[in-house]
Amino acid sequence: MALRKPVRPLDPSLDAAPAADIHTLTAALAAPESAERRRVARELGAFPAAASLLCEQLCLEPAASVRAVILTSLIRIGSPAVVAGLLPLLRSENSGLRNAAIEVLQEMPAEVEPHVAALLADPDSDVRILTVNLLSLLPHPKAPFWLSQVVAQDPHVNVCAAAIDGLAEIGDAQAVAPLRTLPERFPEVPFIRFAVAAALRRIGDA
């Protein structure tokens, strides 16, 4: 009977790239040449542990071409750590960073879902508007429901207007009732009535 070679217990760390590599790449992110930083940003996409580092670098990186690669790497990692690193950018004064955050977050519906309720309850209406814009692009089955909730409950007319625009694109039957009652909540804002009518036509309930 042939002897069986003992099987070594599986170690998750064996599948990960060596820790030394990520340290080397981290140092190289400070390289003066944008081509080198692009290379590093691309390679860091293989390291889930680099999520926070890449989010930080996104805020600091001056070269658009490097920022584009960082976004690609963040999408590749696609972890809760990426979401945690990008959500604060929704408060950034830099519109480019806000848009970059949405670009990545919309590719991670499952990871974004646990944060939706808190984002829609944020006291800053600008954050809620950006969240609505994100939900309008998010390929998640609950997105129409979330936007319908905004229309039914949010006290800010501009947040509701953004939700109307989103529902015009992805709304379904559950959006009809909240849309129909929305003009009654903002009777002093005529454009809401017209926007609602247009959204209902798009949904198919003219």
Are 13 and 97 in the same domain?
yes
Contact 73, 45 (CB under 8 A): yes
- Domain closes at, from 109, 125, 156: 109
What CATH number is given to the structural domain containing 146? 1.25.10
Is pLDDT of 48 > 70? Answer: yes
pLDDT of residue 4: 40
Query: How do residues 58-111 score in pLDDT, each as one tens digit?
Result: 999 999 999 999 999 999 999 999 999 999 999 999 999 999 999 999 999 999
- pLDDT at position 13, please? 40
Q: Is the Cβ–Cβ distance between 59 and 97 less than 8 Å? A: yes
pLDDT, averaged across the chain: 91
> Of 75, 109, 143, which residue constitutes the final position of a domain?
109
Our count of domains for the chain comes to: 2
Query: At 50, which CATH number?
Result: 1.25.10.10
Residue 4 token pair: 């069986």
Cβ atoms within 10 Å of 12's Cβ, excluding its own: 6
For residues 160 and 97, membership in a common domain is answered with no
C-alpha dihedral (70, 138, 131, 158), degrees to nearest 10: 130
pLDDT, tens only, 102-156: 999 999 999 999 999 999 999 999 999 999 999 999 999 999 999 999 999 999 9
Residue 191 tokens read as: 């454009």
Shared-domain flag, residues 97 and 13: yes
Q: What is the model's pLDDT at position 107? A: 98
CB 135 within 8 A of CB 166: yes
- What letter represents residue 103's amino acid? E
Shared domain check, 93 and 161:
no
Residues 6 or more apart whose CB falls under 8 angstroms from that of 163 comprise: 132, 147, 148, 150, 151, 154
Say yes or no: 19 and 78 in one domain: yes
* Distance from C-alpha of 137 to C-alpha of 124, rounded to nearest angstrom: 21
Band (21; pLDDT cuts 50, 70, 90): confident
Residues 158 and 125 in one domain: yes
Residue appearing with tokens 């293989």: 46
Residues 4 and 62 placed together within one structural domain of the fold: yes
Looking at the fold, whether 49 and 104 belong to one and the same domain comes out as: yes
Q: What is the domain extent for residue 63? A: 1-109
> Would you state the pLDDT for residue 205?
56
Which amino acid appears at position 75 of this protein? Answer: I
* Burial of 51 per CB tally in 10 Å (0-12, 13-18, 19+): buried
The pLDDT value recorded for residue 203 is 95
Statement: the pTM of the whole predicted model exceeds 0.75: yes
The answer to whether residues 170 and 141 belong to one domain is yes
How far out from the chain centre does Cα 47 lie?
20
Cα-Cα end-to-end distance for the chain: 79
Q: How many CB atoms lie within 10 A of CB 81?
A: 19
| Mean pLDDT to the nearest integer, 170-184 | 97
